Amino acid sequence: MMANTNPLGTLDPDTLAGIVAAASSTGYEEWWGRVRSSGYCAHPIHLTRTLAGQTTTIYARCENRREAVCPACSDLYALDTWHIVTGGLTPEHLTNATAVFVTLTAPSFGTVHAHHADDPARPCHPVVTGTCTHGRPMGCPVAHQRGDPVVGSPLCADCYDYETHVLTTWWFPALWNRYTRTLRRLVTRHAPGVKVSFVKVMEMQARLAPHYHAILRANNEPGTPGIGLDTLATLAAAAASMVRVDVPATSGTGTLRFGAQVDVQPLTHDEQTRRVGGYLAKYVTKGITSTALPARIPAANIDLLPIPEHHKRVISMLVRLATLLPDEYAGMADRLGTFGWRGHTTTKSRTFSTTMTAQKQHRAAWRAAHATEPGRGFEPDADDADWQYTRSGHKTPGHRYLAVTAALKHREQLRTAHMADDVNGQRQGEP
């Protein structure tokens, strides 16, 4: 049985009773004002301050990027990511530059069940005569549909290379670092004055292997030989094929690399840029997987987790490597809930565009300027040291249900407004 990842949770009788009790309470208006001021956060931080005998409580955002945890804060994180991506692809940044959209995957660790989005009626893997060395079929005639829990799991778990899978996930950020250094060297050989910057997002595939979606931008210095779009695309693909990282393994040393499926697409017009920005913004709000796992997982309880067998084997391999190679991989025991992923979901070059911090500061300044308007809440400034943390979250599931419902409604209102602005040739809204 899979965990429920619906951000609303379950509308059971207790939750319904909590909704009625919250909506009919005498303190509803005051509570709802705090919810509205937090942007309808699903897990707000309670901050209090006492002055002249009066205690004031406000709600601050939890700022969790995962939609399953908080739709309101994940929307804000996605918006910030969209501005970071599109901000680095404005005419100002691209006047003397070229940019490509790159997808880098992990290699194959064994044949897995697949859903073919381009042809849903296509069989998973055409039936192949014979079986593997463990006596299991080497093909699958089933046309798996989206959401089928078997998608991503190996046809034969005993043939699947779980150790290399786990090591690749663990060292995937190192592969990216090696990739950017290799690409910059290749670019410098063709055009010494060109500077390469990037923004990237990690997405976990159904098989629990990470892959990167990235935008690479090459800035040509005025008055020096530049680099063309086709050349940048060629070098981006070539760098991926060249990268190798040697890491400790149970056999002594293992060599890791990117998968052979490297996709490079030139970015040539505004609509394409906006589409890519939305694409990356969508993925940053996803969790590592759709499966909710506890922060701490005792090794003895792995078999009790309500997750597919493939997930359990990945976690078990993390435990095994942490036990066999403690000097190198003791930290894997603390990353069971993320299946070995230890990097950031989003990273960027310092010079690519604006930063998350700059956008938060701009938003805080805007809210401070509008704090006196009716219906506007306020947030404590960094200099407001009197505010004290009390607790986090809503009092009951009913309170949380009301906040998340409002957040989802607000999201639809914004999307409708943005669609109308697109038709009218303009886009506006709160920062």
Domain harbouring 199, CATH code:
3.30.70.360
Contacts of 57 (CB under 8 A, 6+ apart): 34, 46, 47, 48, 390
Banded model confidence at residue 4, pLDDT cuts 50, 70, 90: very low
DSSP helix/strand/coil, 126? coil
Residue 239: inside a domain, yes or no?
yes
404, 416 Cβ separation under 8 angstroms: no
- Percentage of residues in the chain with pLDDT exceeding 90? 45
Residue 281: inside a domain, yes or no?
yes
Predicted confidence (pLDDT) at residue 58 exceeds the cutoff of 80: yes
| Dist. CA 58–CA 45, nearest whole Å | 8
Residue 364: inside a domain, yes or no?
yes
Same structural domain, 365 and 276: no
Region 384-400: what's the mean pLDDT?
Answer: 86
Same structural domain, 276 and 413: no
Phi, psi (deg, nearest 5) at residue 76: -65, -40
Strand partners, 198: 216
Region 382-394: what's the mean pLDDT?
Answer: 78
| Dist. CA 378–CA 286, nearest whole Å | 28
Banded model confidence at residue 426, pLDDT cuts 50, 70, 90: very low
Same structural domain, 377 and 420: yes
Residue 299: inside a domain, yes or no?
no
Predicted confidence (pLDDT) at residue 191 exceeds the cutoff of 80: yes
Banded model confidence at residue 319, pLDDT cuts 50, 70, 90: very high
Last residue of one domain, picked from the residues 290, 319, 341: 290
Same structural domain, 99 and 215: yes
Same structural domain, 171 and 263: yes
Give the Å distances, CA to CA, from 137 to 133, 141, 154, 157, 314: 10, 10, 11, 12, 22
Banded model confidence at residue 428, pLDDT cuts 50, 70, 90: very low
Predicted confidence (pLDDT) at residue 340 exceeds the cutoff of 50: yes
Residue 53: inside a domain, yes or no?
yes
Strand partners, 140: 125
| Dist. CA 180–CA 283, nearest whole Å | 22
Same structural domain, 405 and 280: no
Same structural domain, 57 and 97: no
Last residue of one domain, picked from the residues 290, 308, 323: 290
Closest by CA to 197, choosing from 94, 71, 311, 323, is: 94
Same structural domain, 275 and 378: no
Last residue of one domain, picked from the residues 290, 306, 323: 290
Most confident of 35-39, 96-100, 323-327: 323-327
Tell me how many domains the chain contains: 2
Same structural domain, 103 and 226: yes
Residue 132: inside a domain, yes or no?
no
Same structural domain, 102 and 60: no
38, 60 Cβ separation under 8 angstroms: yes
Residue 159: inside a domain, yes or no?
no
Same structural domain, 188 and 242: yes
Domain that holds residue 223: 89-109+167-290
430, 76 Cβ separation under 8 angstroms: no
Same structural domain, 98 and 44: no
Residue 33: inside a domain, yes or no?
yes
